[in-house]
């Protein structure tokens, strides 16, 4: 497997719709309505919805590269992946989110939700949802400065990114759930991730049943 790459334009890069900075849902209302949703309707997601969710989790919000979620030392050890099944205008496959470009880079072609569900101990939300967002860590990016404590900082960042995504899902009329029960190595194989990355969370996302 190749090592993690620096974000950049490639032939397989897909530009995403620009994120919206306005909503009819207040932060307070999103907090009040947020629930762990494990059942989804068959309705597909739009590319704009996917783009908004990815931006909420790890989007760039400052000219110096600062993102929506705080990161220890602004070192950003997380990688964000989309396991797309039923997303309008996007072929099924695994995609890496490129925050600096607000774009997707294809990693693996084909629907991998069934394989990902097996890696997640057969949990049905993973294959039932039209898409899943996976947060993975590249620990050396942050342990080089903070030592073993950097692992804790990466986990804190993943929690912040996941909550951002969950609140954004509420604003979009969607549902999601944070899932940590899975076999790390099986997730890496299912998604075709680099071996230096450790999956931390799977967040299936879709329309509420």
Tell me the two tokens of residue 12: 């397989």
pLDDT category of residue 89 using cuts at 50, 70 and 90: very high
Average pLDDT score over residue span 109-124: 97
Higher pLDDT, 9 or 78: 78
pLDDT at 12: 74
* pLDDT value of residue 1: 38
Separation of alpha carbons 169 and 106, rounded Å: 23
CA distance 63 to 43: 36
Q: Model confidence at 9, in pLDDT bands (50, 70, 90)?
A: very low
* pLDDT over 80 at 4, yes or no: no
Q: Percent of the chain having pLDDT more than 90?
A: 93
pLDDT of residue 48: 97
Give residue-wise pLDDT tens across range 14-63: 999 999 999 999 999 999 999 999 999 999 999 999 999 999 999 999 99
CATH 3.30.360.10 fits 26-207, yes or no: no
The reported pLDDT for the residue numbered 209 is 82
Does 177 have pLDDT greater than 80?
A: yes
**pLDDT for 75:** 97
Give the model's pLDDT for residue 143. Answer: 98
Structure tokens given for 163: 């909550």
- How wide is the angle at C-alpha 115 spanned by C-alphas 112 and 120, nearest 5°? 120
Mean pLDDT taken over the chain? 94
Where are the domains positioned within the chain? 26-207
Q: Are strands 198-207 and 103-109 parallel, antiparallel or unpaired?
A: unpaired
The pLDDT tens digits for 150-168 are 999 999 999 999 999 999 9
pLDDT at 8: 46
The per-residue b/e assignment along 158-167, b for 16 or more CB within 10 angstroms, e otherwise, is: bebbbbbbbb
Give the pLDDT of residue 11.
Answer: 58
What is the arithmetic mean of pLDDT over 138-147?
Answer: 98
95 C-beta neighbours (distance < 10 Å), count: 27
């Amino acid at each position: 497997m190749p090592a993690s790459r620096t974000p950049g334009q490639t032939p397989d890069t897909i530009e995403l719709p620009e994120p919206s900075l306005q909503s009819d849902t207040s932060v307070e209302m999103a907090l009040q309505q947020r629930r762990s949703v494990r059942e989804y309707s068959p309705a597909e997601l739009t590319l704009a919805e996917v783009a908004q969710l990815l931006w909420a989790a790890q989007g760039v919000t400052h000219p110096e590269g600062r993102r929506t979620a705080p990161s220890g030392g602004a070192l950003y050890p997380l990688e964000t992946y989309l396991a797309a099944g039923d997303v309008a205008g996007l072929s099924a496959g695994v995609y890496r989110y490129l925050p600096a470009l607000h774009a997707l880079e294809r990693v693996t072609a084909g629907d991998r939700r069934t394989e990902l569900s097996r890696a997640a101990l057969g949990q049905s939300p993973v294959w039932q949802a039209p898409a899943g967002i996976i947060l993975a860590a590249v620990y050396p990016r942050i342990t080089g400065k903070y030592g073993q404590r950097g692992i804790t900082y990466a986990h804190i960042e993943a929690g912040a990114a996941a909550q951002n995504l969950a609140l954004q899902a509420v604003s979009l009329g969607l549902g999601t759930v944070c899932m940590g029960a899975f076999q790390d190595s099986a997730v890496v194989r299912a998604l075709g991730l680099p071996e230096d990355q450790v999956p931390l969370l799977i967040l299936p996302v879709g329309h509420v049943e």
